[in-house]
Amino acid sequence: MERVFSGAQPTGNLHLGNYLGAIRNWVALQKDFECIFCVVDMHAITVWQDPKELRSNIRELAASMIASGIDPEKHVLFNQSQVSAHAELAWIFNCVARIGWLNRMTQFKEKAGKHRENASLGLYAYPSLMAADILTYKATHVPVGEDQKQHLELARDIALKFNNDYEVEGFFPQPEPLILGPATRVMSLRDGSKKMSKSDPSEMARINMTDDADTLSKKIRKAKTDPEPLPSEAAGLEGRPEAKNLITIFAALTNSTVDKVLSEHGGTQFSGFKQALTDVVVTKLAPITEEMARLNNDNAYIDAVLAKGAERANAIAQPILRDVKETVGFLNS
Ligand code: TYM
């Protein structure tokens, strides 16, 4: 049985990195897999969130997933904290995962910064909850951007150690990361060495899915580039991370490849290319942005979708959690 699971944090606007690296691929996978998509609010509070904002961010993220093409009728779309199996399995995994494994997580090091002692325990245990998200459904495939690869490796290690420790070979599958398409790591518009991120203090560094045409045009016009024209071959992008990023975004949005984009635009100046890129971004994002705005006015609909999704997710998770509890030696009620 093949099953896709993935999630995104409701910590602010969805940006083009989330869309190209993950959500667009989720939409495509709906054709061939049974899919479960999750708004991971429990992951979000590993860093303090304003409660009122969190509540509205949860609804907005669900709305943007639907606006991007997630079908909540055919597949399951829900909010993590509304299905208690995630928290329950995460605790069991906290007792399976080793401190040494978590010490290696680069995202924790980045997010905790210099003052690691002040980071929440939840931020440290973040990957263990992520493993629980996936394995509470015995999901086999996990479409993510490149930045989540290390967390996925940890989920595989936890699954294997659980199976070994309790002598239940094959109980949990080894979930496979699906890192798809040309834009698996979209970079900041201001600095080609940093990934595009919700937490970047500069709004100019990212393209938000809610940006209007004027804002998009301004951000792309001001995006950092170098003075050279576009090269005609991918090898010419070596050492030019900002140029590479803009061309990769263009390729991803036009369902093309970097080579093809360069064969068409090689030799032109960035000013002209940026105009072409703006046209592509505006055309591709406008229908999604419009639908997001419409859904954001309909909290009742979003709440109903999430309630139904939680019910369906719970129905899949409960029998698996029951088996886990039995395996570990807990009393099942
Ligand atoms: P999050 O909310 O940071 O991001 C959601 C998805 O977007 C991808 N992504 C990117 N892809 C390309 N370029 C970028 N600049 C970029 N930024 C983000 C992420 O890789 C991700 O796929 N820990 C996860 C959420 C999570 C999860 C899970 C994912 C929780 N449980 C279980 C899969 C399975 C996260 O913080 O994603």
Q: What is the mean pLDDT of residues 259-266?
A: 96
| Mean of the per-residue pLDDT values of the chain | 96
The residue whose two tokens read 């045409």 is 213
> In angstroms, rounded to a whole number, what is the distance separating the alpha carbons of residues 199 and 197?
5
Q: What is the mean pLDDT of residues 245-252?
A: 97
The residue whose two tokens read 């490796």 is 153
Residue extent(s) of CATH 1.10.240.10 domains in the chain: 203-294
155 Cβ inside 6 Å of ligand 1: no
Question: Which numbered atom of ligand 1 lies nearest the CA of 187?
Answer: 15
Question: Is residue 333's pLDDT more than 90?
Answer: no
154 Cβ inside 6 Å of ligand 1: no
Q: Is residue 41 within 8 Å of 91, Cβ to Cβ?
A: no
Mutate to test the pocket of ligand 1, among 4, 13, 23, 40 (most ligand atoms within 8 A of CB): 40
Per the annotation, the verdict on 260 as an active-site residue is: no
289 Cβ inside 6 Å of ligand 1: no
Identify the pLDDT of residue 332: 84
- Spell 40-74 as b/e; 16+ CB within 10 A means b: bbbbbbbbebeeeeeeebbbbbbbbbbbbebebee
> In angstroms, rounded to a whole number, what is the distance separating the alpha carbons of residues 83 and 88?
10
Which tokens belong to 225?
A: 């580039």
Q: What is the share, in percent, of the chain residues with pLDDT greater than 90?
A: 98
> In angstroms, rounded to a whole number, what is the distance separating the alpha carbons of residues 127 and 97?
10
Q: How confident is the model at residue 61 (pLDDT cuts 50, 70, 90)?
A: very high
182 Cβ inside 6 Å of ligand 1: no
Residue extent(s) of CATH 3.40.50.620 domains in the chain: 3-184+298-328
CA dihedral 311, 316, 320, 325 (to 10 degrees): 0
Q: What is the pLDDT of residues 267-311, one digit of tens each?
A: 999 999 999 999 999 999 999 999 999 999 999 999 999 999 999
Question: Which numbered atom of ligand 1 lies nearest the CA of 151?
Answer: 23
Q: What is the share, in percent, of the chain residues with pLDDT greater than 70?
A: 100
Smallest CA separation from ligand 1 atom 16, residue: 17
Point out the catalytic residue in the list 149, 161, 198, 224. Answer: 198
- Amino acid identity for residue 153 in this structure: E
Distance from the CA of 18 to the center of ligand 1, in angstroms?
7
207 Cβ inside 6 Å of ligand 1: no
Q: What is the pLDDT of residues 131-146, one digit of tens each?
A: 999 999 999 999 999 9
43 Cβ inside 6 Å of ligand 1: yes
Task: State in words which class domain 3-184+298-328 has.
Answer: alpha beta
| Class of residue 157 by CB neighbours under 10 A (exposed 0-12, middle 13-18, buried 19+) | middle
Smallest CA separation from ligand 1 atom 24, residue: 8
Point out the catalytic residue in the list 138, 195, 244, 274. Answer: 195
Question: Is residue 84's pLDDT more than 80?
Answer: yes
Task: State in words which class domain 203-294 has.
Answer: mainly alpha
CA dihedral 80, 85, 86, 91 (to 10 degrees): 150
Distance from the CA of 94 to the center of ligand 1, in angstroms?
21
Q: What is the pLDDT of residues 176-189, one digit of tens each?
A: 999 999 999 999 99
